[in-house]
Amino acid sequence: MRLLHIHSNFNPGGKELRAAQLINAFGPAVEHVIVSGDPEALGASQAISDKIKVSYPRDFPSLQGKPWPGRLKRLAQAMQGYDLVLTYNWGAMDAVLAHTVFAKMLSLPPLVHHEDGFNQDEAARLKPSRNWFRRIALGLASALVVPSEKLEAIAIKEWQQPRGRVRRIANGIPTQAYGKKPKRDVLPRVIKHDGEFWLGTLAGLRPVKNLPRLVRAFSALPEEWHLVIVGEGSEHDAILNEAMRLDVGYRVHLPGFVGDPARLIGLFDLYALSSDSEQFPLSVVEAMAAGLAVVSTDVGDIAAMLAEPNRSFVVPKEKEGDFAEALGVLAADPALRRAIGEANRTRARALFDEAQMVAVYRETYARALGRERFP
């Protein structure tokens, strides 16, 4: 079985790492071809097992440009010869439209589209033109997969998708793997020393993650606290500049991307998410499974994801002072951090384990293929 995955880029992020997670779970019986709209953006490939047959073509038609018929037809022709096409987020929407326009003429395989949220340009308000485009482009999709209740509501109301097409599948992880205590030197260039406490986050360094906000909130924490931001992206310099401006540069660490968060997240003493927009972030599930309390902006389904005792530490994204205050309360109270962390761990294991997620994805893809089982 051959699957075609179409991403605007394949650098490490929530949807890319989940795609890699599912690829590994499906095993060597499935061959994967992964298109990155930016052919150099393939960092998430590090998370795919070397036992899986996977390729990254560089000659796939561009995902950017005007949706003229000739360009759409070239995109559609490039989808021929596969069993299933999987597309991801707005950056692949031209490919989705191409499939809808030419699926019958070219006998294209079924397509399942995945939407995980929005970049900075739609963090505050959805663009009406994109809503209209999605309504048209998704016309022949076999399924539209979303991870959150809020995105499910948007898909039905704003994009006018039939309820039977929309499938909400919560992100999941191998929760038991996150119970291990990692070595202090597991991160490149950063070692946790005695007497230090780490405020941590796992994030692509992109504007929508608003990591300078996290630096500002962190700057009020006591000297023994360090901020560790694990990820890569274009905002690297902006984050460091903000840290230097606030004279906390020596306590802010950016070790880069790490392929297996379970190896390191146990070094954190507290987890934070400062995004302007999220839906159902995998990193929050990882923090929960590791037994961490979480401070977060109130975006997406995060408040509903967390255990009830943690929900008072989810604050409006506009209230930066409240965000800093929440960090300060939990940083000063290790017993409260432990109690909330254990409640989060229990909830993650009960609701967000990888096995449940993989089973529903298998069923969704099997349905698209008209089969009883996948693969």
Global pTM value: 0.83
> Cα(164)–Cα(199) distance, rounded to whole angstroms?
42
341 located within any domain? yes
Nearest alpha-carbon partner for 306 in 276, 262, 350: 350
> Cα(204)–Cα(219) distance, rounded to whole angstroms?
21
Same domain flag for 152 and 194: no
Same domain flag for 35 and 136: yes
Residues 313 and 293 sit within 8 Å (Cβ to Cβ): yes
For residue 255, give Cα distances in angstroms to 47, 227, 251.
Answer: 17, 11, 13
Q: Which two tokens stand for residue 176?
A: 């038991």
Quote the domain boundaries for residue 327: 175-351
Residue 318 burial by CB count (10 A; 0-12/13-18/19+): exposed, middle or buried? exposed
375 located within any domain? no
- What are the phi and psi torsion angles at 307 (to 5°)? -65, 150
pLDDT at 179: 86
Q: Which two tokens stand for residue 49?
A: 């097992």
203 located within any domain? yes
Same domain flag for 141 and 103: yes
Same domain flag for 358 and 243: no
Q: What size, in residues, is the chain?
A: 375
Same domain flag for 299 and 221: yes
pLDDT at 201: 98
In order along its 375 residues, the chain shows pLDDT tens digits of 999 999 999 998 889 999 999 999 999 999 999 999 999 999 999 999 999 999 999 999 999 999 999 999 999 999 999 999 999 999 999 999 999 999 999 999 999 999 998 887 887 789 999 999 999 999 999 999 999 999 999 999 999 999 999 999 999 999 999 988 899 999 988 999 999 999 999 999 999 999 999 999 999 999 999 999 999 999 999 999 999 999 999 999 999 988 789 999 999 999 999 999 999 999 999 999 999 999 999 999 999 999 999 999 999 999 999 999 999 999 999 999 999 999 999 999 999 999 999 999 999 999 999 999 999
> Cα(35)–Cα(58) distance, rounded to whole angstroms?
8
Number of domains the chain contains: 2
Residues 306 and 347 sit within 8 Å (Cβ to Cβ): yes
Same domain flag for 186 and 125: no
> Cα(151)–Cα(170) distance, rounded to whole angstroms?
11
pLDDT at 13: 85
We report the CATH number of the domain holding residue 152 as 3.40.50.2000
374 located within any domain? no
